[in-house]
Amino acid sequence: MTQTMFTEPEERVALREAVKKLASKYGREYVEKQAREGGKMTDMWLEMGRNGFLGVNIPEEYGGGGGGMADLAAVLEESAAAGAPLLMMVVSPAICGSIITRCGTEEQKQRWLPAIADGTHLMAFGITEADAGSNSHQITTTATRDGDHWVISGQKTFISGVDEAQSVLIVSRTEDAKTGKLKPALFVVPTDAEGFTKQPIPMSWQAPEKQFTLFLDNVRVPVDALVGDEDGGLWQLFAGLNPERIMGGAFSCGIARYALEKATSYAKERSVWKDQPIGAHQGIAHPLAKVKIELEQARLLWQKAAALYDAGDDFTAGEYANMAKYAGGEVACNATDVAVHTHGGNGLTQEYGLGNMLVAARLGRIAPVSREMILNFVAMHSLGLPKSY
């Protein structure tokens, strides 16, 4: 009888330890200082890149670590658990790196992947549009062929990190595909291109990574800016969107781990009644224990989703990536809420840093796809129920 071990490979365990050590050197204080002063995570980002952590999923022949999405998600989870989450890991190596690896030409792989892997080229991702919301089939950003160039026009919104990116992978549709089913065309657009402008969106939480509305006014890019086939179909897009959901789940799990660790430590030290710490009371202990269980469930889901993606089973990976993203968003919200409550009034002070996390964790329920759309997906594809929208 063979025994199935629910443990990660030794190499990934060692990777986690190395990332934890580096990320802990920066920690929450560094992130908050950068957010407060308008700084970026650049120093940590580049050090992570120099150590090979940002490109673990990119093939070795293009400067990466030759690992999979499970390795990259573990890196992100550990950095978030150390209080220094790197949101742009979801975008640059996971979405853009995966799409270029799977859909790009040899020249595009040689050109983009080594710099994405070492962190010296940060590539943002532009899909969301104000009028389309979660319905990517309503994308109106259009690319028109003009000789040796494509001309792109349209708008994008809630695009992360454009102010620190050198380029954006823009999701558009070709001019002759405005009607009927979406055939996404993906273009690498330099952020300094003529006709490309950005406008920051003020958000309710403090973070070094900012959100932007993008305006593309007849932006001209060369023919080789097109990644993949202009008629390649939705699979090209989902080569990046499944990793996005897996990474979103891991990101949220890391935030939940950080919040739970802070709350548990506080509950062991804080005494109010008698000589017992507050963690001895079930009113404090049970919510923390519940979060721990939810957290381990969510971690198993993203690990399964990543294993399926790395095995090349895109459809099943999509099913589990959506569930992993849902579970991660839920536990991040629950963990930060319980952590704030465990700390009492201290939970909402700047000193403890949990109030800001409470708002930031909420993002995991909304983006990159709402939990309601995930429930729609699971109802249709996992349960075979009729389409509801």
290-312 pLDDT, tens digit per residue, is: 999 999 999 999 999 999 999 99
CATH numeric code, 10-121: 1.10.540.10
φ/ψ (deg, to 5) at 41:
-90, 20
What are 188's two structure tokens? 């690498």
**Cα(352)–Cα(383) distance, integer angstroms:** 43
**pLDDT number for residue 273:** 85
Considering the four listed CATH numbers 2.60.40.1220, 2.40.110.10, 3.90.870.10, 1.10.1060.10, the one that applies to the domain covering 124-225 is 2.40.110.10
Comparing 10-121 with 234-383, is the CATH topology the same? no
Bridge pairing between strands 196-201 and 211-222:
antiparallel
Residue located via tokens 């294993």: 307
Q: Where are the alpha helices (DSSP H) in 82-128?
A: 88-89, 97-103, 106-118
**pLDDT number for residue 282:** 97
Show me where the domains of the chain are located. 10-121, 124-225, 234-383
What are 306's two structure tokens? 């990543």
320 touches 305 (CB < 8 A): yes
Q: What is the DSSP letter of 271?
A: B
**pLDDT number for residue 184:** 83
CA torsion angle 252 86 189 179 (round to 10): 0
Name the CATH superfamily, with its identifier, for domain 234-383. Answer: Butyryl-CoA Dehydrogenase, subunit A, domain 3 (1.20.140.10)
pLDDT surpasses 70 at 134: no
Mean pLDDT, range 327-354, rounded to an integer? 97
What are 287's two structure tokens? 């919510």
Give per-residue pLDDT as tens, 176-216. 645 556 678 999 999 999 999 999 999 999 999 999 999 99
**pLDDT number for residue 180:** 53
Give per-residue pLDDT as tens, 32-83. 999 999 999 999 999 999 999 999 999 999 999 999 999 999 999 999 999 9
Mean pLDDT, range 117-137, rounded to an integer? 90
Give per-residue pLDDT as tens, 141-170. 999 999 999 999 999 999 999 999 999 999
**pLDDT number for residue 365:** 97
**pLDDT number for residue 205:** 94
What are 279's two structure tokens? 């963690």
- Predicted structure pTM score: 0.96
Give per-residue pLDDT as tens, 87-98. 999 999 999 999
